[in-house]
Amino acid sequence: MPTLVFLEHHGSELQKGALGVLAKAASLGDVAALIAGPGAKALAAEAGSHGATKVWICEDEGVAQPVPQPRVDVLAQVVEEGGYDTVLFANSVLAADVAAGLAARLDAGLNWDLTDLEQRDGEIIGKRPALQDSVYADVGWTGTPRLALFRAGSFDATPTGGGDPEVAQVSPSYAAHSTAVTLVGQDAEESSGPSIEDADVIVAGGRGLGEPENFALAEELAKALGGAVGATRAVVDAGWYPYSAQIGQTGKMVSPKLYVALGISGAIQHKVGMQSSGTIVAINKDPNAPIFEFSDLGVVGDLHEIVPKLTELIRTRSA
Amino acid sequence: MRIAVCVKHVPEGPSHLDPSTKRLDRSGEGALNHFDANAVEEALRLKGDSDTEVVAISLGPQKALDSLRKTLAMGADRAVLVSDDAAVGSDLVATSRLLAAALEREEADLVLFGQQASDADGAVLWAAVAERLGLPVVSQAMELAVDGGSVRVKRQTEFGYDTLEAPLPAVVAVSDAINEPRYPSLKGIMGAKKKPQDVLSLGDLGVDAGDVGEAGSRTTVFALGDPPARGDARKIEDDGNAAQAILDFLAEKRLV
Ligand SMILES: Cc1cc2nc3c(=O)[nH]c(=O)nc-3n(C[C@H](O)[C@H](O)[C@H](O)COP(=O)(O)OP(=O)(O)OC[C@H]3O[C@@H](n4cnc5c(N)ncnc54)[C@H](O)[C@@H]3O)c2cc1C
Ligand SMILES: Nc1ncnc2c1ncn2[C@@H]1O[C@H](COP(=O)(O)O)[C@@H](O)[C@H]1O
* Residue contact A139–B125, C-beta within 8 A: no
Q: What number does the ligand 1 atom closest to the CA of A250 have? A: 8
Task: Tell me how far apart the alpha carbons of residues A133 and A263 are, in angstroms, rounded to a whole number.
Answer: 19
Cβ neighbours of B16 (radius 10 Å): 13
For residue A252, CA distances in Å to A153, A159, A196, A202 come to 12, 23, 8, 12
Question: What residues contact residue B213 under an 8 Å CB cut-off, 6+ apart?
Answer: B86, B87, B88, B89, B90, B94
CA angle A22, A25, A28 (to 5 degrees): 155
Q: Which of B233, B186, B104 is nearest to A294 (CA)?
A: B233
CA A5 to chain B, closest CA, distance in angstroms equals 18
DSSP β-ladder status, A3-6 and A86-90: parallel
Same fold, A3-179 and A201-318: yes
Instruction: Select the residue of B16, B132, B255 nearest A257 (Cβ to Cβ).
Output: B255
* Residue contact A131–B15, C-beta within 8 A: yes
pLDDT at B71: 98
Task: Tell me how far apart the alpha carbons of residues B104 and B212 are, in angstroms, rounded to a whole number.
Answer: 17
Instruction: Select the residue of B91, B126, B226 nearest A136 (Cβ to Cβ).
Output: B226
3-state helix, strand, coil in chain A (%, to 5): 35, 30, 35
Q: Does any CB of chain B come closer than 8 Å to the CB of residue A98?
A: yes
Q: Are A1 and A29 in contact (CB under 8 A)?
A: yes
- The secondary structure element, H or E, covering residue A73 is helix A69-82
Q: What number does the ligand 1 atom closest to the CA of A302 have? A: 42
Question: Bridge-partner residues for A168, per DSSP?
Answer: A56
Ligand 1 centre to CA of B87 (Å) is: 31
Q: How many CB pairs under 8 A join A and B?
A: 274
pLDDT at A161: 84
Q: What is the pLDDT of residues A111-125, one digit of tens each?
A: 999 999 999 988 999
> Looking at chain B, which residue has its C-alpha nearest residue A191?
B160
Determine whether domain A201-318 maps to CATH 3.30.750.24: no
The ligand that comes nearest to the alpha carbon of residue B116 is 2
CA B20 to chain centre: 26
Atom 50 of ligand 1, residue of closest alpha carbon: A269
Task: Tell me how far apart the alpha carbons of residues A282 and A314 are, in angstroms, rounded to a whole number.
Answer: 17
**DSSP SS3 for A113:** strand
Report, as ranges of residue numbers, the positions in chain B whose pLDDT lies below 70: none
Report, as ranges of residue numbers, the positions in chain A whose pLDDT lies below 50: none
Edge to edge, the sheet with strand B219-225 lists A116-120, A123-130, A135-141, B219-225
Q: Which of B90, B61, B96 is nearest to B199 (CA)?
A: B61
Q: pTM of the entire structure?
A: 0.96
End-to-end CA distance of chain A: 63
CATH for A3-179, options being 3.80.10.10, 3.40.50.620, 3.60.20.30, 3.40.50.1100: 3.40.50.620
- The secondary structure element, H or E, covering residue B221 is strand B219-225
Identify the residue among B162, B237, B239, B249 best suited for mutation to test binding to A, counting A beta carbons within 10 A and taking the highest. B162
> Looking at chain A, which residue has its C-alpha nearest residue B136?
A177
Task: Tell me how far apart the alpha carbons of residues A88 and A84 are, in angstroms, rounded to a whole number.
Answer: 11
pLDDT at B191: 96
Q: Are B42 and B4 in contact (CB under 8 A)?
A: no
Q: Are A273 and A247 in contact (CB under 8 A)?
A: yes
* Residue contact A131–B16, C-beta within 8 A: yes
> Looking at chain B, which residue has its C-alpha nearest residue A301?
B238
- The secondary structure element, H or E, covering residue B30 is strand B30-32
Question: What residues contact residue A217 under an 8 Å CB cut-off, 6+ apart?
Answer: A205, A209, A262, A303, A304, A307, A308, A311
Omega before A145 within 30 of 0, i.e. cis: yes
Task: Tell me how far apart the alpha carbons of residues B70 and A125 are, in angstroms, rounded to a whole number.
Answer: 39
Identify the residue among B124, B143, B217 best suited for mutation to test binding to A, counting A beta carbons within 10 A and taking the highest. B124
Task: Tell me how far apart the alpha carbons of residues B80 and B111 are, in angstroms, rounded to a whole number.
Answer: 14
Average confidence score pLDDT of chain B: 95
For residue B65, CA distances in Å to A217, A233, B110, B173, B197 come to 41, 31, 22, 22, 8
Question: Bridge-partner residues for A38, per DSSP?
Answer: none
Ligand 2 centre to CA of B99 (Å) is: 9
**DSSP SS3 for A19:** helix
Instruction: Select the residue of B125, B166, B226 nearest A181 (Cβ to Cβ).
Output: B166
* Residue contact B165–A182, C-beta within 8 A: yes
pLDDT at A78: 98
Q: Are A265 and A289 in contact (CB under 8 A)?
A: yes
| Ligand 1 environment, Cβ below 6 A | A 93, 206-208, 232-235, 246-251, 263-265, 267, 269-270, 273, 283-286, 289, 302-304; B 115-116, 123, 140, 176
Q: Give the per-residue SS3 of A270-299.
A: HHHHHCCCCEEEEEECCCCCHHHHHCCEEE
Ligand 2 centre to CA of B137 (Å) is: 15
* Residue contact A137–B224, C-beta within 8 A: yes
Provide φ and ψ at B199, rounded to 5°: -110, 125
> Looking at chain B, which residue has its C-alpha nearest residue A304?
B243
**Single-letter residue type at A53:** T
pLDDT at A194: 62
Domain boundaries, chain A: 3-179, 201-318
Tell me which DSSP letter residue B161 carries: E
* Residue contact B136–A181, C-beta within 8 A: yes
Cβ neighbours of A157 (radius 10 Å): 18
CA A195 to chain centre: 20
Q: Does any CB of chain B come closer than 8 Å to the CB of residue A272?
A: no
Burial per residue of B107-146, b for 16 or more beta-carbon CB atoms within 10 angstroms, e otherwise = ebbbbbbbbbbbbbbbbbbbbbbbbbbebbbbbbbbbbeb
